[in-house]
Structure 1
Amino acid sequence: MLTLTAMLARTMRLYGERPAIIDTEGQFTWSEFTNRIARCAALLSNRGITPGDRFGILSRNSFRQAELMHAGYWLGAIPVPVNYRLAAVEIEAIFEDADCQLVAVEEFFFSFVANDCLSHLSDQIVWIPSGGKQTSDCHYEDELQATEPLPMREASEDDDALLLYTGGTTGQSKGVRLSHRNIIANAFQLSFLVRPHHSDIYLHIPPMFHSADLLGTTHTIAGGAHAYLPQFTPEAALTTIESVRATHAMLTPTMIIMTLQDAALGRTDLSSFRQLLYGSSPMAVEWIKKALDAFDNVEIIQAYG
């Protein structure tokens, strides 16, 4: 079955004791991470989310956002990760348009939510910690550990898996429905080029509300590990590649150009880094040449755009 649930079950079965998550809070194997996903699915179910429902996510990149998205697949619900750079009124409009029954919000956005948007949804918000630091109002980890894992609901290939919203540069943001087959088929075709391996570590750098983040699905299929950069800066990306020993990542041309101009590039150990995907827009030839010179031992692949 070309479904994200079948993929996760296969990965746990084949690579259960291998690392799935590498984070400053610690590491999880695929067995441990899948257990968290099943508990998260139960948490969502206990909050009233049922198969076919949509729930919003307002968060920077993190393994918790990944487990929320996987929990949606596991339960048969549809995650709607939103661009947190949008204005409050635009974020509210997206959640209303998507008919989200619940919104998971990173504590980092507490004041933004309280003052600008979603205040009317206070009873329908699941607060998730920022970097492992839980406030007195956030009980996500306690609730997760107290919840029994929910059995996986097998999806159909044509079921909606994810709802992403366009940037809205030429008008209002529009929802784009992606099925399980859409996401898995794209990962399979990309795998012929990327050649993922279970020893790989994929660093998620572009924001997870963007379709570029789905490129990491190739490494989930192969049993590789994932690490997450909350917000991009050139120095943060480079030092995280060094600290987690990342082997693969995706960057947009703008991110690459900023990184090439940053002083941290010359003082960072990138010996683990083997492959860089870029896309979403074209990159001028002179910058491609500079990237090839700067990342001389890295395979650079133009993916799309």
Structure 2
Amino acid sequence: MHKPLLTTDFLDRARRHYGDREAVVATTEERYTYDELGERVDRLSAALQERGIGKGDRVAVLDPNTHYHLEAAYAIMQLGAIHTPLNYRLVPDDFEYVLNDAGVTAVIADHEHAGKIEPIRDSVPTELYVSNDAGATEGDWEDFETLIDRNGEYDRPEMSEDEVITINYTSGTTGDPKGVCRTHRGETIHAYLVSVHQEVRDDDVYLWTLPMFHVNGWGHIYAVTGMGAKHVCTRGIDAEWILETVREEGVSYLCAAPTVLNMLIERYEETGEDTRGTNPVRAATAGAAPPEATIRTIEDEFGWHLKHVYGATETGPLITTSDAGRLLPEGTERFSIKKRQGLGYLGTDVRVVDEDGADVPRDEGTIGEIVVRGNQVMDGYWEKPEATEEAFSERIEGYYHTGDLAVVDEHGMVSIQDRKKDIIISGGENISSIELEDTLFEHPEVADAAVIPAPSEKWGETPKAFVVPANGDPENPGTSAEAIAEFTRERLAGYKAVHEVEFVEELPTTATGKIQKFELRQKEWDEEDRMVGEG
């Protein structure tokens, strides 16, 4: 028997079985049951449908981790429209590109971030603008609560599991951002895998420290909802508030980039406060792997169970986990294994292959590229068939090529050593070194530049620029490191800015003039346990 896998099934299930149970702890202090959450979603679906939003239309959501984002996502999907979450850390030019590229019909935005949309309204195809607080939003925005002050009757269209239901834009690590198209089926199967490997249960209390715009919160908008668990929403990251909420709400599960873990550790070391409430706590982390010391503190002192996972926007995202109890040695030796990206998720074919597409030996020494095939992997890039073809065929046909270079141990556990593409992962955000270099070249005092990830205790890694000054004198470059960093900060989203600048006489190059970034990375990471991507 075949039953279509639809993302709408998750909220439907929660309403059917957990209608009178608390679903959401809102940032506005309200608490909603699944019946109440579902009613608000229906009313938004009805309002959007009345405004002409229908199947296949793209609707963007620009919002931190509030109940408004959850409601908007499900209301959009109930119409068969395409949920298009936006990274609220971007700048107006970025939003202009995405809204045009996706042909977005409507934007639902948080009042603190809507101001970034206002300057570009005349240059995008968007017709409907909704704010969760229109009174606090500059410009002509409709108010969310006013919009849903109506009955919740709407017509849900027939939907196929192979239809695109969400577009998640990459951070533009190799040029303009690309829209990653994900189908009902892909999202559903990924959510099933998350439920298994992250052990999501109906009595979980999930704290939203992971941005919902990150591949739909790693699929947790589906998994947590479908299991009937509780969402605790947030507007931002604050270590004091997180630990307080863990205690007061009995949080049992959260996701935290290594930088967030470090913030929590700093707070704990200052106060010695309790790190648990009424429930045991497990935490998932990804991005640049946390150092062993971080894992040790989280597990041995916080008393939390840490799960290190790995993936990319294009892969669902999650495809591997190092949470493999039977393969972990006893005692502190387990921390070196938990740093690794780990084993493939159920039903996921994760391989490390050489230039010819052959699997590298399991010797923990031979480096190859991670490629993956699985039901949670993207359908393709939005209206970019050539980029889609390249992503799935470079070394081995039919596998998504991650661009991450890794080794494999005897059990098939992968461990990233370096990156094929020049990606910097800082605090869980992807940053393009190419974009930064292009910006640096606009500075009149810069003759040449190379940007690499440098180790950072706080962020895992941050952008560092090696700059050849226009006057050729690194001792007296005609500008300052601070001025160079500020130059990038003024032109890019804040998290993309250069954090460190080193003036040099020349950059290492090959015989053909290609900059050898590997030498620069090796220099920066010489005293670290691992090269880029491994903390």
The answer (yes or no) to whether the contact 2:262–2:294 under 8 Å persists in 1 is yes
Selected match of 1:281 from 288, 293, 302: 288
Q: What code does the residue aligned with 1:226 have?
A: H
CA offsets, 1:132-181, max 9 Å, x none? 98999653212212243324335321111211001113321111011111
Matched, 1:21 2:24: yes
Q: TM-score w.r.t. structure 1 length?
A: 0.89
Change (3 A) 1:39 1:86: same
CA distance in 1 between partners of 2:150 and 2:299 (Å)? 50
SS of structure 1 residue aligned to 2:113: helix
In structure 2, the CA distance between the partners of 1:191 and 1:46, relative to structure 1 (3 Å rule), is same
Q: Which residue of 2 aligns with 1:200?
A: 204
Deviation at 1:96, TM superposition (A): 0.6
Whole-angstrom distance in 1 between the partners of 2:117 and 2:215: 24
- Closer/same/farther in 2, CA of residues 53 and 215 from structure 1, 3 Å limit: closer
1:286 partner amino acid: A
Alignment of 1:213 onto 2:214 = no
Identity of counterpart residues, as a percentage?
A: 27
Distance, in Å, in 1 between the alignment partners of 2:175 and 2:242 is 32
- Counterpart for residue 79 of structure 1: 83
Partner of 2:10: 7
Where do residues 249-268 of structure 1 align in structure 2 (5 Å cutoff)?
249-263=254-268, 266-268=272-274
Amino acid aligned to 2:305:
E
Within a 5 Å distance, the mapping from 1:18-57 to structure 2 comes to 18-23=21-26, 24-57=28-61
1:117-132 equivalences in 2 (<5 Å): 117-118=120-121, 124-129=128-133
**CA RMSD between the two structures:** 2.5
How far apart in 1 are the matches of 2:142 and 2:54? 23
Q: Relative to 1, partners in 2 of residues 1:188 and 1:148: Cα closer, same or farther, differing over 3 Å?
A: closer
Q: Deviations over 1:67-124 (max 9, x none)?
A: 101111111000111112112111111011000011112111244333x333556852
Match of 2:302 among 291, 295, 303: 295
What's the TM-score, normalizing by structure 2?
A: 0.53
1:92-103 superposed matches below 5 A: 92-103=96-107
Q: Does the residue aligned with 2:156 lie in a helix, a strand or coil?
A: coil
CA distance in 1, matches of 2:128, 2:166: 20
In 2, the alpha carbon distance for the partners of 1:219 and 1:229 equals 15
Q: Which has the higher contact order (CA 8 A, sep 6+)?
A: 1
Matched to 1:83, the amino acid is N
Residue 268 of structure 1 and its aligned partner are, at CA, apart by 4.6
Q: Distance in 2 between matches of 1:69 and 1:184?
A: 14
Say whether residues 1:247 and 2:255 are aligned partners.
no
The answer to whether the Cα contact below 8 Å between 1:5 and 1:154 also exists between their aligned partners in 2 is no
Task: Write the mapping of 1:230-245 to structure 2, written as runs, cut at 5 A.
Answer: 230-245=235-250
Per the alignment, do residues 117 and 70 of structure 1 end up closer, same or farther by CA in structure 2, a change over 3 Å counting? same
Question: Does the 8 Å CA contact 2:131/2:137 hold for their aligned counterparts?
Answer: no
Paired residues for 1:140-151 under 5 Å = 140-151=144-155
For residues 171-201 of structure 1, the C-alpha deviation after alignment (integer angstroms, 9 at most, x for no partner) is: 2111101111111111212222333222211
- Please say if residues 229 and 240 of structure 1, whose CA atoms lie closer than 8 Å, have aligned partners that are also in contact: no
Alpha-carbon separation, structure 2, partners of 1:76 and 1:159: 9
Q: Indicate the residue corresponding to 2:518 in structure 1.
A: none
Q: Does 2:75 match 1:68? A: no
Residues 112/16 of structure 1: CA separation in 2 closer, same or farther (3 Å cut): same
Deviates further, 148-157 or 101-110: 148-157
What CA distance in whole angstroms lies between the structure 2 residues aligned with 1:146 and 1:261? 47
Which one has the bigger helix percentage? 1
Identify if the C-alpha distance between structure 1 residues 154 and 199 changes in structure 2 by more than 3 Å, giving closer, same or farther: farther
- Which protein is bigger by CA-based radius of gyration? 2
Q: How many residues align?
A: 302
Residue type at the aligned position of 2:82 = I
The Cα offsets for residues 16-45 of structure 1, whole Å up to 9 and x where unpaired, read as 111111124321111111111111111211
Aligned residue in 1 for 2:428: none
Q: Offset at 1:64?
A: 0.6
Structure 1 stretches lacking a partner, 5+ long: none
SS at match of 2:13: helix
| Aligned partner letter, 1:276 | A
Q: How does 1:216-227 map to 2 (within 5 A)?
A: 216=220, 217-227=222-232
Question: Any conservation in 1 of the 2:91–2:116 contact (CA below 8 Å)?
Answer: no
Query: 1:110–1:184: structure 2 CA closer, same or farther, 3 Å change rule?
Result: closer
Q: After the TM superposition, which of the residue ranges 209-218 and 135-144 deviates more from structure 2?
A: 135-144
CA contact under 8 A between 1:113 and 1:119: conserved in structure 2? no
Maintained 8 Å contact 1:201/1:226: yes
1:221-248 C-alpha deviation (Å, 9 max, x unpaired): 2111111111113223223323332211
CA contact (8 A) 2:85 2:216 kept: no
Range moving further from structure 2, 138-147 or 251-260: 138-147
Relative distance call for 1:147 and 1:214 in structure 2 (3 A) is farther
What SS class does the counterpart of residue 149 from structure 2 fall into?
Answer: helix
